[in-house]
């Protein structure tokens, strides 16, 4: 059941049986392997315009279709330019990096508008559809309210300070707690700030080594040396999770991470803008890969949205739309933001974040959660 990009067929679910695990998919757009359509007999229910009807009495299929699709574009095995430089890209002045990121991202936005790639942006749940077609019972009764996990990548001193001094109050006001992923070896960490966050019920995660974007692409021996450098931080703050800088991830990285962490959270659900377009797992559900639990980033991160020119109200509206689709599908909402002034640290973008917090807190469909709580659930 190996598949290539050419093997994927874009379909719109015209109808699904009421009460079936995949009922949520009705009206949605998905990419499914041509081999799946042929093996299951669904090819005969596919119209020329891409409309697909899942007939009543459709028998569960092998979960391997969904599992393979989930990993089809999950990794970034080719190092980006930032990882191939003879020096850390962090030495490039922030204003120059921001200009470059905006130019590249806005060029890519035009291709995103066609919604042709896989996974499709801003949300693609194709793997979850295939996995539900392998189920005999529904999911919503098992899961109940949809977990919402708030995470921040704290790439700088400024980010860490703003997280503790500004964002924690916003989150605690609605009963939420977040996870802050800190860079262990780029600058001396303010352990007092980390202690404050922990004492208030928030979690600490590790965000790479020095944010030079190289760790994922090193040989295992050198990668282990970098992972070992965070051991003191891991032990002091009972760290359980890791996120790779710029969301760059390889199978080798995943395998090595399993020695140190309970979960990893660098694979996006729908790929999108940076660092590599159209890369993701097409799933909003935790899963096991290379010996570690992956907690997919299911909402579009705000940094990429800012780069492509989204206004704060557009960011909020997109988050709400995606969160509602994820809730219907039985997934987990995982949001990544940055606390620096140039991202969510400014008052305008932070307002979009606050509005999303209020939206979740006022909805009966969601509940605040943390990676630790989600890990306690059964992983598919």
The confidence score (pLDDT) of residue 78 equals 83
Q: Mean pLDDT, to the nearest integer, of 198-219?
A: 95
User: CB–CB of 344/350 below 8 Å?
Assistant: yes
Q: Where a domain ends, among 26, 56, 71?
A: 71
- Three-state DSSP class for residue 337: strand
21-40 per-position pLDDT tens digit:
999 999 999 999 999 999 99
Q: What percent of the chain has pLDDT over 70?
A: 84
Same domain flag for 53 and 140: no
How deeply is 100 buried, as exposed, middle or buried, from its count of CB atoms within 10 A (0-12, 13-18, 19+)? Answer: middle
State the chain's mean pLDDT as an integer.
Answer: 89
Q: Beta partners for 337?
A: 152
Answer with the one of 31, 51, 71 that is the final residue of a domain: 71
- The reply to whether 89 falls in a domain is no
Q: Where among 26, 43, 71 does a domain terminate?
A: 71
Give the pLDDT of residue 1.
45
Task: From 146, 200, 104, 165, select the one nearest 331 (Cα to Cα).
Answer: 146
> Residue 10: its pLDDT value, please?
95
**For residue 272, what pLDDT is reported?**
67
The pLDDT of residue 180 is 98
Cα–Cα distance for residue pair 347/226, rounded to 1 Å: 36
Segment 81-93 mean pLDDT:
60
| Buried b or exposed e, range 110-129, using 16+ CB within 10 angstroms | eebeeeebbbbbbbbbbbbb
Residue 280's pLDDT is what?
A: 94
**Residue 377, pLDDT score:** 78
Count of domains for the chain: 2
224 and 366 housed in the same domain = yes
Helix (H) or strand (E) holding 38: helix 34-40
What confidence category does residue 56 fall into, taking pLDDT thresholds of 50, 70 and 90?
A: confident
Using CA atoms, how far residue 239 sits from 202, 206, 232, 370, 375, in Å, is: 11, 7, 10, 13, 14
> Same domain for 64 and 143?
no
Query: What pTM does this model have?
Result: 0.91
The Cα angle at residue 217 between residues 215 and 218, in degrees rounded to 5 = 70
For residues 281 and 259, the answer to whether their CB atoms sit within 8 Å is: no
Is 10 in the same domain as 148? Answer: no
- Is residue 42 pLDDT above 80, yes or no? yes
Short-list 78, 111, 89, CA closest to 276:
78
Distance between first and last Cα of the chain? 19
Q: What is the pLDDT of residue 141?
A: 47
Closest CA to 340 of 210, 158, 206: 158
Average pLDDT over residues 45-72: 92
State the pLDDT confidence band at 304, using cuts at 50, 70 and 90. Answer: confident
List C-alpha distances in Å: 75 to 243, 248, 271. Answer: 13, 8, 10
137 plus 234 within the same structural domain: yes
Give me the sign of the Cα torsion angle 334, 324, 145, 20.
negative
Identify whether the C-beta of residue 332 lies closer than 8 Å to the C-beta of residue 295: yes
Residue 87 lies in a domain: no
Residues 346-353 have a mean pLDDT of: 95
**CA 144, CA 106: separation in Å to the nearest integer?**
38
Report if residue 108 sits inside a domain. Answer: no
Cα dist from 235 to 226, 231, 239, whole Å? 16, 6, 7
**234, 248, 303, 163 alpha-carbon torsion, rounded to 10°:** 0
Same-domain check for residues 239 and 166: yes
CA distances from 50 to 13, 45, 194 (A): 8, 10, 51
Asked if 56 and 187 sit in the same domain, the reply is no
Q: Are residues 269 and 361 in the same domain?
A: yes
Structure-model confidence comparison of residues 20 and 204, the more confident one: 204
Q: Is residue 255 part of a domain?
A: yes
Confidence (pLDDT) at 140: 44
Contact by Cβ (8 Å): 368, 176:
yes
The verdict on residue 112 lying in a domain is no
State the residue range of the domain holding 144: 128-375
Specify whether 136 is located in the same domain as 61: no
Q: CA distances (Å), 203 to each of 177, 195, 288, in order?
A: 8, 10, 21
Most confident stretch, 86-100, 114-128, 316-330, 365-379: 316-330
DSSP state for residue 48 in the 8-state scheme: T
> Distance between CA 204 and CA 231 in Å, rounded?
13
Tokens in use for 259?
Answer: 């020695």
Minimal CA–CA distance to 224: which of 206, 205, 209? 209
User: What is the pLDDT at residue 100?
Assistant: 56
- 98 occurs within a structural domain: no
Calculate mean pLDDT across residues 320-331. Answer: 97
Which of the residue ranges 52-61, 148-157, 229-238 would you say has the lowest mean pLDDT?
A: 52-61
How does pLDDT run across 242-285, given as a tens digit for each residue?
999 999 999 999 999 999 999 999 999 997 665 555 589 999 99
310: domain CATH number is: 3.20.20.370
């Amino acid at each position: 059941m190996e598949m290539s990009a050419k093997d994927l067929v874009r379909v719109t679910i015209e109808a699904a049986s009421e009460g079936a695990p995949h009922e949520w998919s009705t009206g949605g757009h998905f990419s499914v392997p041509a081999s799946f359509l042929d093996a299951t007999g669904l090819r005969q229910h596919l119209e020329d315009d891409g409309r697909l009807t899942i007939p009543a009495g459709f028998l569960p299929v092998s979960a391997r279709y969904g599992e393979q699709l989930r990993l089809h574009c999950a990794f970034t095995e080719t190092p980006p330019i930032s990882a191939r430089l003879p020096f850390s890209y962090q030495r490039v002045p922030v204003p120059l990096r921001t200009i470059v990121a905006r130019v590249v991202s806005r060029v890519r936005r035009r291709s995103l508008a066609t919604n042709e790639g896989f996974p499709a942006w801003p949300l693609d749940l194709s793997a979850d559809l295939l996995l539900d077609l392998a189920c005999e019972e529904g999911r919503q009764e098992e899961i109940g309210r949809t977990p919402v996990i708030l995470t921040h990548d704290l790439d700088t001193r400024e980010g860490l300070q703003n997280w503790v001094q500004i964002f924690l109050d916003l989150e605690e006001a609605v009963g939420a707690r977040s996870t802050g992923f800190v860079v262990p070896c780029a600058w001396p960490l303010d352990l007092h700030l980390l202690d404050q966050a922990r004492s208030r019920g928030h979690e600490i995660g590790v965000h790479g080594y020095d944010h030079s974007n190289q760790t994922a692409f090193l040989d295992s021996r050198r990668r282990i040396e970098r992972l070992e450098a965070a051991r003191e931080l891991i032990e002091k703050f009972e760290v359980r999770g890791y996120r790779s800088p710029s969301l760059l991830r390889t199978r080798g990285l995943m395998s090595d991470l399993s020695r140190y962490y309970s979960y990893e959270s660098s694979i996006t659900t729908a790929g999108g803008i940076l660092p590599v377009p159209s890369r993701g797992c097409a799933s909003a559900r935790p899963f096991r890969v290379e010996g570690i639990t992956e907690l997919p980033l299911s909402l579009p991160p705000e940094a990429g949205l800012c780069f492509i020119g989204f206004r704060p109200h557009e960011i909020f509206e997109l988050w709400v739309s995606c969160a509602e689709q994820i809730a219907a599908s039985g997934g987990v909402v995982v949001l990544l933001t940055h606390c620096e002034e140039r991202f969510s640290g400014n008052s305008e973008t932070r307002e979009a974040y606050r509005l999303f917090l209020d939206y979740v807190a006022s909805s009966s469909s969601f509940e605040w959660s943390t990676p630790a709580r989600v890990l306690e659930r059964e992983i598919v």
